[in-house]
Chains A and B, each alone.
Chain A
Amino acid sequence: MINIQKIRADFPILNQKINGKELIYFDNAATSQTPQIVIDKISNYYLGYNSNIHRGVHFLSQKATEAYENARKTIQLHFNASRPYEIIFTSGATHSINIIALGYTKILKKGDEIIISEMEHHSNIVPWQMLCERTGAILKIAPINEDGVLVLDKFKSMCSKKTKLVVITHVSNALGTVNPIESILSISHSFNAKVIIDGAQAAPHFKIDFQALDIDYYVASSHKLYGPTGVGMLYGKERLLNELSLYHGGGEMIHQVTFKKTTYAELPHKFEPGTPNIAGVIGFGEAINYTNSIGLNNINSYEKELMEYATKELDKIKDLKIYGKAKDKTAIISFNIGKLHPYDLGAILDKFGIAVRTGHHCAQPIIDYYKIPGTIRVSFSFYNTKEEIDIMVDSLIRATKMLQ
């Protein structure tokens, strides 16, 4: 069960007025809000034990190192990875994807194939296009249907011995579609292809078990997971991570350096050169603890309730069309009203104190698929309420009247 009053009190940012109206934050898929306990964890780091990790023998460095490595353990246990060092800290999902794509530069050969879906975020398209340019590998696009659902049969028929990598978002950031990763993993694995799953939009909303699902690679961002910005994670199976070539050099990642030859440190440090975002990582770990204190199952069922309510209420608005009608969706609704431009509606909602996202959501291929200029996207979190949805629906009706 969700105690909404108590939860909202955990997020100080929600208690403010924008343009004279109570803030309604429905842009959680872009960045979620941060609870006080995470903010405290970060400020306590700077107040009490800010220092460099893995290097000092002194007390503060020990303490910071311990807190940093504890965050790694927290995240390992949360996702049930088999080893803590299979969790690499990065600056975010985009960075994580780039580490993998760069790591395959020497592994892929001309004519190898990479399959990505039509519903990927630009962050999960461009690094693969660049990898193809570097290696001569071929990028293939697995199509979606009108409901915004991956056409699994088509995907299957595209797989072959040439398929080396399959790249798929767990949840579409533009439509909310949850992809059937179990089926995708088993099909891909039967062709010996490795699967890279972009969990940026999934990890905040439901529990994922890396070992049970036999996941090869999984990436996520802290700032969508109630943690601070500028931090993220890359999970890879130990064997796979050790096959990737390294792309960044620096301190912390080395075993021995001479001018002749450098030998590299072990996982995870070889992927974390330089001083990392220590406070961010510690905050990220605390955000996972916070999420678990509420319970992802509770979060998921409450968000589902919000979703169903919002879908029903939005559907009452004349000429409103929802994009993305998958049976399995997370807390994202993308829509347009008649021929009104999403920018116009978004600009007016902003005046009502309502934060939504408009445009192509960095997933232009989907928007092109529907041949529209963009959508309005509302994305919920467990601190949102049905009353906020009612206010948004009213505001949309008023905005529509103004624009017609």
Chain B
Amino acid sequence: MKTISEIQQEIIEEFNIFSDWTQRYEYIIELGKSLTLINKKYKIDNYLISGCQSKVWLNAELVGNKIIYTADSDAIITKGIIAILLRVFSNQHPSNIIDANTDFIDVLGLKEHLSPTRANGLSSMIKQIKMYAIAFRTKLA
């Protein structure tokens, strides 16, 4: 089982082969298209994290002592970044999720997408991911 920082390092290395932003974006768009679909029953307002630009739906479930996140968005670039975030955070123990940071996103050259001014739902999504982790850790304790 890889740790969060190992996965982050892995993603950084994958991105290193891209020589410019178009390749990075094409890759993110591909990730967005192949993101595992969130169960339809979670694509409702209760699971919606509203950004005013693009929408994000997020669900979290505790399986054993790990959290499985699923998510979706109506914008494809947002979805691609969701795929990266889920790869990092999903299927991890709540404590590790709480302690993890998202600095690796800067290294990938995607920082602007997590800025609250983009209002695309991603910065709120990260907060929500952590909130779930805090809630589930309490449950496990």
A binding-site residues for B, Cβ under 8 Å: 19, 340-344, 346-348, 350-351, 358-360, 373-374, 402-403
Interface pairs (26), CB distance under 8 Å: A19-B21, A340-B76, A341-B74, A341-B75, A341-B78, A343-B54, A343-B75, A343-B77, A344-B29, A344-B75, A344-B76, A344-B77, A347-B113, A348-B25, A348-B77, A350-B112, A351-B21, A351-B22, A351-B25, A358-B53, A359-B119, A373-B54, A373-B55, A402-B22, A403-B29, A403-B76
* A341 CA to B74 CA, complexed, in Å: 7
Contacting pair B53 A374 (CB below 8 A) = yes
Interface of B is mostly: helix
Looking at the assembled complex, report how far the CB atom of B65 sits from the nearest CB atom of chain A, in whole angstroms.
36
In the bound complex, residues from chain B placing their C-beta under 8 Å from that of A341 are: 54, 74-76, 78
**Number of residue pairs spanning A and B whose beta carbons lie under 8 angstroms apart:** 44
In the bound complex, residues from chain B placing their C-beta under 8 Å from that of A358 are: 53
* A374 CA to B25 CA, complexed, in Å: 22
B120 at the interface (CB under 8 A from A): yes
Closest A residue, CB atoms, query B26: A402
Closest A residue, CB atoms, query B120: A343
Partner of A359, one of B25, B26, B53: B53
In the bound complex, residues from chain B placing their C-beta under 8 Å from that of A346 are: 53
Partner of B52, one of A19, A351, A360, A402: A360
Contacting pair B21 A347 (CB below 8 A) = no
In the bound complex, residues from chain A placing their C-beta under 8 Å from that of B52 are: 359-360
Contacting pair A402 B25 (CB below 8 A) = yes
* A348 CA to B21 CA, complexed, in Å: 10
Closest B residue, CB atoms, query A373: B74
Interface residues of B in 39-64 (CB under 8 A from A): 52-55
* A374 CA to B53 CA, complexed, in Å: 8
Contact status of A347 and B74, CB under 8 A, knowing A341-B54, A360-B52 = no
Most buried by A among B75, B76, B113, B119: B75
Interface residues of B in 89-134 (CB under 8 A from A): 112-113, 119-120
* A350 CA to B76 CA, complexed, in Å: 16
In the bound complex, residues from chain A placing their C-beta under 8 Å from that of B26 are: 402
Top 3 nearest A-B pairs (CB, nearest first) are: A341-B75, A343-B75, A343-B54
In the bound complex, residues from chain A placing their C-beta under 8 Å from that of B77 are: 343-344, 347-348
* A85 CA to B53 CA, complexed, in Å: 41
Looking at the assembled complex, report how far the CB atom of B52 sits from the nearest CB atom of chain A, in whole angstroms.
6
In the bound complex, residues from chain A placing their C-beta under 8 Å from that of B113 are: 347
* A347 CA to B28 CA, complexed, in Å: 12
**Knowing that A344-B76, A359-B53, A402-B22 are A-B contacts, what are 20 other residue pairs whose CB atoms are under 8 Å apart, sorted by A's residue number?**
A19-B21, A341-B54, A341-B75, A341-B76, A341-B78, A343-B53, A343-B75, A343-B78, A344-B75, A344-B77, A346-B53, A348-B77, A359-B52, A360-B52, A373-B54, A373-B55, A373-B75, A402-B29, A403-B29, A403-B76
Looking at the assembled complex, report how far the CB atom of A339 sits from the nearest CB atom of chain B, in whole angstroms.
10
* A340 CA to B78 CA, complexed, in Å: 13
Looking at the assembled complex, report how far the CB atom of B8 sits from the nearest CB atom of chain A, in whole angstroms.
22
Looking at the assembled complex, report how far the CB atom of B27 sits from the nearest CB atom of chain A, in whole angstroms.
11
In the bound complex, residues from chain B placing their C-beta under 8 Å from that of A347 are: 77, 113
Looking at the assembled complex, report how far the CB atom of B79 sits from the nearest CB atom of chain A, in whole angstroms.
9
In the bound complex, residues from chain B placing their C-beta under 8 Å from that of A340 are: 76
In the bound complex, residues from chain A placing their C-beta under 8 Å from that of B119 are: 359
Closest B residue, CB atoms, query A346: B53
In the bound complex, residues from chain B placing their C-beta under 8 Å from that of A360 are: 52
Closest A residue, CB atoms, query B113: A347
* A402 CA to B25 CA, complexed, in Å: 8
In the bound complex, residues from chain A placing their C-beta under 8 Å from that of B55 are: 373
Looking at the assembled complex, report how far the CB atom of B104 sits from the nearest CB atom of chain A, in whole angstroms.
19
